[in-house]
C-alpha cells in the first residue's frame, strides 16, 4: 500500500501545494472522497469512502456520522454548518429535524464533544488577569 509523500508537493518556495496534495490523497484513497476525513484502515489504492460514509449505502435503522446528519429515509447527507437549526447542529440532545430533500421528519441525536488545549501564558498575559486572587 503506497502513501502519498508530502515532500513531493513542495513548491519551489518551500511551501506545500495543499490543493494538489489533498487531491493526490483523495485519488489514493487516503482521505474519504465524500467527507474528507482520514481513512484509518485503507482497503484499496484508489478513491475510497471512510467507514462512516460507507454505511450510508446500507439499509440501517440509524446512521451516525461525525460530519453529516444523514436522513434515514432518503440518505441525504446534510452538513450541519449549512442548516438553519443551530440547536440541531450544536446542542447536545435529541432534536426533531425535517429532511430538506424528502421533507420527512426524523430524530437527530446530537453529541457535542469537547477537548481542551492548554498552553503557558506569555508574561504580559498574566498581569491583571489573575482571577484566583493569589
Ligand atoms: Zn467519509
Ligand atoms: Zn430525506
Task: Return averaged pLDDT per consecutive 10 residues of the chain, 134 residues in all.
Answer: 92 96 95 92 88 92 94 94 89 94 96 87 75 51
Specify whether 14 is located in the same domain as 43.
yes
Specify whether 51 is located in the same domain as 4.
yes
Calculate how far, in angstroms, residue 49's C-alpha sits from the geometric centre of ligand 1.
5
Place of cell 511551501: 15
Specify whether 27 is located in the same domain as 65.
no
Specify whether 50 is located in the same domain as 1.
yes
Rounded-to-5 percentages of helix, strand, coil across the chain: 25, 15, 60
Ligand nearest the Cα of residue 72 is 2
SS3 assignment, position 64: coil
Place of cell 441525504: 76
Return the pLDDT at 7. 96
Residue 132: inside a domain, yes or no? no
Residue 134: inside a domain, yes or no? no
- 80: containing domain: 59-110
Q: How far apart are CA 23 and CA 25, in angstroms?
A: 5
Specify whether 95 is located in the same domain as 48.
no
Specify whether 66 is located in the same domain as 106.
yes
Calculate how far, in angstroms, residue 33's C-alpha sits from the geometric centre of ligand 1.
7
Number of domains the chain contains: 2
Ligand nearest the Cα of residue 102 is 2
Amino acid at each position: 500500500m503506497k502513501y502519498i509523500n508530502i515532500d513531493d508537493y513542495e513548491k519551489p518556495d518551500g511551501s506545500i501545494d495543499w490543493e494538489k496534495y489533498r487531491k493526490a490523497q483523495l485519488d489514493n484513497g487516503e482521505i474519504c472522497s465524500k467527507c474528507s476525513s482520514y481513512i484509518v484502515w485503507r482497503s484499496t489504492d484508489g478513491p475510497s469512502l471512510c467507514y462512516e460514509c460507507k454505511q450510508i449505502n446500507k439499509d440501517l435503522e440509524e446512521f451516525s456520522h461525525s460530519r453529516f446528519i444523514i436522513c434515514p429515509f432518503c440518505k441525504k447527507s446534510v452538513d450541519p454548518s449549512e442548516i438553519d437549526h443551530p440547536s440541531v447542529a450544536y446542542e447536545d440532545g435529541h432534536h426533531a429535524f425535517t429532511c430538506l430533500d424528502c421533507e420527512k421528519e426524523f430524530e437527530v441525536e446530537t453529541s457535542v464533544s469537547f477537548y481542551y488545549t492548554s498552553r503557558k501564558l506569555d508574561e504580559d498575559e498574566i498581569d491583571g488577569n489573575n482571577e484566583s486572587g493569589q
